[in-house]
Amino acid sequence: MSLSMKKWISTKTEPLTKENEALFQFRRTKIVSTLGPATNTEEKIGELVDAGVNVFRLNFSHGDHEYHGKVIDNIHKVMATKRKTYCAVMLDTKGPEIRTGLNAEGKDISVKKGQQLILTTDDEFNGKGNNEKIYVDYKNITKVLSIGKRVLIDDGLVGCEVVSIGDDHLVTKVLNDGELGSRKGVNLPGIKVDLPAVTERDRKDLLFGRDNNVDFVAASFIRKPEDVNEIRKVLGRRGAHIKIISKIENAEGIHNFDAILEVSDGIMVARGDMGVEIPLEKVALAQKMMIAKCNVAGKPVITATQMLESMVHNPRPTRAEANDVANAVMDGSDAVMLSGETAKGAYPIKAVKTMAKICVSAESSLEYNEMYNNIRSSTLSAEGMRSLSITETIASSAVKVTMEVDAKFLLTITETGNTAMLCSKYRPAPPIFAITQVDRTARQLALVWGVRPVLVETVIGTDGVIRREIMIQMNEGRLKENDCYVVTCGNKEGVSGHTNMLKISYANQIN
């Protein structure tokens, strides 16, 4: 927990009832925004950037390559006009999912509690779905299920219990009244499925993303570490720079979480399918577990799904949704995500601004010293009290120093972004200015908690690079003459993996 009971008890009540605009000058938690029909134009993308979006998510469950290529071009055009602002592009794969087929005449069908519903894998029945029989596209469903097991359709809106099993069909009993449209998702709670980690469609999408310079791949339905390795194999050497964010969406993924985290570049807590695949009351516990383990590993974690869902139609979120975002921030999320709210919603810009305000307000309650101590002790415990790398030792020490000298900024010179990510891991209160000469690094650091990427032509001449950035911050009023700042860098300029220096200085000493 980020706040001790002692601090909550001593919290003054008056600030809780007033909005403080001064808070919103710096937000540590990043925002991932899904683009769709409501926001895929240059104009709307620009407005989203101005509202606070850090990463643009493209959902490859919808749209073809021509469509996504145009959206990526729009993002690049907009970002070329945004000085000192860096946003990443995330390709979210469709993944190996199970769906129902098409209904007869494309119409929704009604099912009643207690009735019989046959789920068939016979391709001849695709397109003929009715209230007695529907098609399911997973051929081995009759092999992995047994009598008494449940099948949940359309995010669990319709539940069925298996009564008998044939060679190419299941006979089920419907557990509740409901409406079923075509091509709805099917979940098999607690069942290990033998679907491929990368479908043929995913393979084509991944290669398209590689060729179109995406920064992240959000890999859907990751169940085991081998799934991540398969995606890396598809991306190949040309796509080795793309960071893989594993989406944990089912029981198997949760069971194998430690091994998945080890081979992933980050994690998405994808609560949609997860809330159907595992007991609903366990989702919050799984979320907290995954966030904590990502924090200790120093890998970014995104909390996603239905965070401000009511803003698809309404200009204000529900109180429960606002609390959900705040709790995700207090849990330690690097980023929070908007899906339908910005893809198809009526208030996409307002949704981003609302989420940004909630994030900053929640961050104002964080106990940074306590977070630092918790992460450091957990890291040493996880490492079996072995010594840390030199880079992590410098990063950890730099964050500790920022607290002890009340530094206003932490500046790091970074080639790959690794040093900035390690500084972020230990959760400093001041912003981390990550100065890099690599544009891809600047974009990928847009996802990392507390980091403000700064792209420069060269990092050769470290003292001059730092001097220019401090002057910029002073000219823009963020730094005063007597303010202290901390710097991490390496004695080998422009060479990655050699961070071994920590400096403490004052703004009035830059000359």
Report the distance separating Cα 449 and Cα 435, nearest Å.
15
Residue 247 near residue 268 (C-beta atoms within 8 A):
yes
Residue 136 near residue 101 (C-beta atoms within 8 A):
yes
For 85, counting Cβ atoms within 10 Å of its Cβ (0-12 exposed, 13-18 middle, 19+ buried), the class is middle
Report the distance separating Cα 443 and Cα 86, nearest Å.
5
Report the distance separating Cα 238 and Cα 207, nearest Å.
10
Catalytic annotation, pick one of 100, 120, 305, 402:
305
Distances (CA, A) of 196 to 95, 137, 157, 203, 274: 9, 14, 26, 11, 19
Tokens 């469709």 correspond to 94
Reply yes or no on whether 29 is catalytic. no
Reply yes or no on whether 232 is catalytic. no
Which H or E run contains 261? helix 257-263
Reply yes or no on whether 57 is catalytic. yes
| Gyration radius of the chain's alpha carbons | 24
Closest by Cα among 286, 292, 296 to 250: 286
Catalytic annotation, pick one of 44, 94, 99, 316:
99
For 42, counting Cβ atoms within 10 Å of its Cβ (0-12 exposed, 13-18 middle, 19+ buried), the class is middle
Q: Which long-range contacts (CB under 8 A, 24 or more apart) does 19-25 make?
A: 23/360, 23/361, 23/364, 24/356, 24/357, 24/360
Which H or E run contains 442? helix 439-444
Reply yes or no on whether 100 is catalytic. no
3-state secondary structure 387-430: CCCHHHHHHHHHHHHHHHCCCCEEEEECCCCHHHHHHHHCCCCC
Residue 228 near residue 221 (C-beta atoms within 8 A):
no
3-state secondary structure 189-239: CCCCCCCCCCCHHHHHHHHHHHHCCCCEEEECCCCCHHHHHHHHHHHCHHH
Catalytic annotation, pick one of 27, 28, 30, 247:
247
Report the distance separating Cα 41 and Cα 33, nearest Å.
14
Chain centre to alpha carbon of residue 393: 27
Residue 194 near residue 222 (C-beta atoms within 8 A):
no
H-type alpha helices, 80-224: 141-144, 200-211
- Give the side-chain half-sphere CA count within 13 A for 192: 7
DSSP string, 20-44: -GGGGG---SEEEEE--TTT-SHHH
Where in the sequence numbering do the catalytic residues fall? 57, 99, 247, 305
